[in-house]
């Protein structure tokens, strides 16, 4: 009788979530191999084409900070947890691959869009490159500490929200290739955070009370605009215009702003104003009252479908267009002019219409779709290309 244990590669970030995930899989009888993704060491220059070009032009190199989800302290914590569990820990050098994410981040801001590097990191690295590395090690599964679930529905693996609504991360996992769901393990998706920390204490894990990472690891000071400027992609001074097109002020570059922003505008127009638009071509920032943020729907591309094929007929769904927003009732349909194939060989572009207008639907962000009758179940999603104003 073959008693060989199934082998699983666990992405261990040095945090409590992935540490408990590794411990649970070990207890469930898996042969667990830990993997820490090395994106760079504190003080080390980041390798990315857009940054290299900036350095050639005389800019100072961007360096990895001490915070985020990939610091040297995190690596040390991952090693100690792996040692306490008695499992091996490999370090994957993804420094060059990580440069692609930074290039994407800078380019999106420079083009007037709002990027989401954490989603791209999951797509390209954690459930992209890591699956390839797992195969090299002979591992049948890849696991992480994300708060989401994979369950069989009608005989097929589907991605679901985590049971802890405040921690749910299904939104950032929508881009996982559908063929990877069969080999994807998310052990903590059915656990609430306070209970998970207690589980870590019971198992003697040193990271049981470690704070969660709150910032992007390559922008440790949260100065997104400064990063764009250091690459030479900053847009310089430009105009701020009101809803009539009248110039009401100046700004230091459209990359300093995000759709829906209210603070830091330093303008007095007699009513509360918000950033309602950014035009990279003209380096113009538009401002207006809150109602001008309302959008009736959006068009998205780079679709990834985790459910049945999407046709051109309207289908009811729940749509979430920001990580920290709630899903709202909507309709979705594939577009006939959609280029393809996508990762799942279906409509590459789609249109979403919200049942009620929504605020600050920003191009560059992801819109993720959920079942209407089973709102925990992910249908798929894509990247917002444009949003339709609700006001004429």
Same domain, 371 and 250: no
pLDDT band at 264 (very low <50, low <70, confident <90, very high): confident
The verdict on 129 and 257 lying in the same domain is no
Supply angle C-alpha 76, 82, 85, rounded to 5.
145
Same domain, yes or no, for 198 and 267? Answer: no
Is residue 138 in some structural domain? yes
Q: Are residues 137 and 50 in the same domain?
A: yes
Mean pLDDT over residues 235-256, rounded? 93
**Distance of alpha carbon 73 from alpha carbon 211, whole angstroms:** 13
Task: Dump pLDDT digits (tens) for 101-156.
Answer: 889 999 999 999 999 888 888 888 877 788 889 999 999 999 999 999 999 999 99
* The total number of structural domains that make up the chain: 3
Q: What is the DSSP string of 130-145?
A: HHHHHHHTT-SEEE--
pLDDT over threshold 80, residue 214? no
Residues 6 or more apart whose Cβ sits within 8 Å of residue 207: 14, 15, 16, 19, 77, 81, 200
Residue that wins the pLDDT comparison between 2 and 230: 230
Q: Are residues 194 and 90 in the same domain?
A: yes
Residues 246 and 339 in one domain: no
Q: Is residue 222 included in any domain, yes or no?
A: no
For residue 265, give both structure tokens. 């505008």
Last residue within a domain, chosen from 254, 288, 322: 288
Q: What percent of the chain is predicted at pLDDT more than 90?
A: 64
Q: Judge whether 208 lies within some domain.
A: no
Per-residue pLDDT, 99: 83
Range of the domain at 310: 293-389
Sheet containing strand 284-288, edge to edge, reads 247-251, 238-241, 284-288, 274-279
- Let me know if residue 167 belongs to a domain: no
256 with 346, same domain: the answer is: no
CATH number at residue 338: 2.40.30.10
Give domain status of residue 45, yes or no: yes
Q: Nearest to residue 18, comparing CAs of 64, 79, 97, 100?
A: 79
Taking alpha carbons only, the member of 367, 389, 116 closest to residue 276 is 389
Q: What is the pTM of this model?
A: 0.88
Q: Do the domain assignments include residue 341?
A: yes
Q: Report pLDDT digits (tens) over 265-314.
A: 888 898 999 999 999 999 999 999 999 999 999 999 999 999 877 888 99
Please name the residues in contact with 263: beta carbons below 8 A apart, sequence gap of 6 or more: none
The residues that are catalytic are: 121, 217
Say if 152 falls within a structural domain: no
**Per-residue model confidence (pLDDT) at position 218:** 74
Instruction: Report the C-alpha gap between 336 and 313 in whole angstroms.
Output: 10
Neighbours of 228 (CB within 10 A): 22
């Amino acid at each position: 009788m073959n008693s060989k244990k199934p082998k699983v590669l666990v992405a261990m970030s040095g945090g409590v979530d992935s540490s408990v995930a590794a411990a649970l899989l070990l207890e469930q009888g898996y042969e667990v191999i830990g993997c820490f993704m090395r994106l760079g060491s504190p003080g080390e220059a980041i390798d990315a084409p857009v940054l290299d070009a900036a350095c050639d032009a005389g800019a100072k190199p961007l360096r990895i900070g001490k915070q985020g989800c990939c610091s040297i302290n995190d690596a040390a914590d991952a090693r100690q947890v792996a040692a306490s569990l008695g499992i091996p820990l490999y370090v994957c050098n993804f420094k060059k691959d990580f440069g692609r994410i930074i290039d994407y981040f800078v380019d999106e801001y420079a083009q007037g869009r709002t990027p989401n590097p954490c989603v791209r990191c999951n797509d390209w690295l954690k459930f992209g490159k890591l699956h390839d590395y797992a195969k090299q090690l002979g591992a049948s599964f890849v696991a992480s500490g994300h708060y989401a679930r994979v369950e069989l529905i009608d005989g097929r693996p589907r991605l679901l929200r985590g049971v802890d609504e405040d921690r749910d991360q299904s939104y950032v996992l929508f881009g996982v290739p559908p063929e990877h769901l069969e080999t994807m393990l998310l052990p903590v998706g059915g656990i609430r955070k306070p209970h998970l920390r207690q589980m870590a204490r019971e198992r003697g894990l040193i990271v049981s009370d470690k704070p969660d990472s709150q910032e992007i690891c390559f922008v440790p000071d949260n100065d997104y605009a400064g990063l764009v400027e250091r690459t030479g992609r900053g847009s310089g001074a430009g105009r701020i215009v009101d809803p009539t097109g009248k110039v009401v002020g100046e700004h230091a570059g459209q990359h300093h702003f995000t759709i829906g922003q209210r603070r830091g505008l330093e303008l007095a127009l007699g009513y509360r104003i918000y950033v309602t638009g950014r035009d990279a071509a003209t380096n113009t920032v538009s401002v207006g009252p809150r109602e001008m943020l309302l959008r009736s729907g959006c068009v998205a591309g780079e679709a990834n479908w985790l459910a049945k094929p999407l046709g051109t007929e309207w289908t009811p769904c729940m749509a979430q267009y920001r990580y920290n927003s709630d899903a709202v009732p909507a309709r979705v349909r594939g577009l006939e002019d959609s280029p393809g194939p996508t990762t799942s060989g279906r409509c590459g572009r789609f249109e979403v219409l919200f049942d009620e207008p929504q605020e600050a639907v920003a191009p560059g962000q992801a819109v993720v779709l959920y079942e209407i009758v089973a709102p925990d179940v992910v249908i798929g999603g894509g990247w917002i290309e444009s949003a339709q104003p609700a006001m004429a």
